[in-house]
Amino acid sequence: MEQMLGDKFSLKADLIIGIGDLSNLTGVSARQLRYWEEKKYIESVTDGKSSARKYKFEMFYKVRAIKLLLDEGLTLAKAAEQAEQQRQKVEICKKFVNAVFTDVVIEDPEKVLGKIMMGYLDEDQKRKVVGIVAEGRSYIEVQTKK
């Protein structure tokens, strides 16, 4: 029977990295990272013990996004705003996936294609909603059981 996927879709990237690593990983200087934090564009976790900044690994994605937008010519303020919106959109998608996706069936391991079970439209479970991920085309269909 179909089961709730739950945490299978939410990777717990609870890795903590220092400012040096984050800088090397993103190509953004430590000076910039401290400044961005001061401007509230990014945040670090305070472990209380040392005054050294520590960052959750998710911050790597945000810093990378800001840098990419910055390289495209956006101002720091605009880049940070867009990066935050992108992050929020991804978060909303994750919530949706975790709440609605019931199971993911792999049908073609080679091409990574399959179907996504998304529950039923009615109580008597006669109309099943399935997301089809096929080659070059993906869509949602309602499979009706007689």
Partner DNA sequence: TTTCTTACA
Partner DNA sequence: TGTAAGGA
Q: Which residues bind DNA (CB under 7 A)?
A: 18-21, 23, 29-32, 34-35, 51-53, 70, 76
Burial 29-49 (b: 16+ CB within 10 A, else e): eeebbeebbeeebbebeeeee
Q: Cβ closer to DNA: 20 or 89?
A: 20
Query: Angle at CA 87, nearest 5°, toward 41 and 99?
Result: 145
Q: Are 17 and 54 in contact (CB under 8 A)?
A: yes
- Write down the least CB distance from residue 48 to DNA, Å: 13
Nearest to DNA of 55, 101 (CB atom): 55
What contacts 94, CB < 8 A, 6 or more positions away? 9, 10
The 10 Å Cβ neighbour count of residue 125 is 10
Choice between 23 and 102, CB closer to DNA: 23
* Shortest Cβ 88–DNA spacing (Å): 23
Q: Are 16 and 57 in contact (CB under 8 A)?
A: yes
Q: Which is nearer to DNA, 18 or 131 (CB)?
A: 18
Smallest separation (angstroms) from DNA to the CB of 57: 15
Q: Which of 63, 109, 106, 103 is CA-nearest to residue 86?
A: 63
Comparison of 84 and 103: residue with beta carbon closer to DNA:
84
Q: How far is the CB of 51 from DNA (least distance, A)?
A: 4
Q: How near is the Cβ of 97 to DNA at its closest, in Å?
A: 34
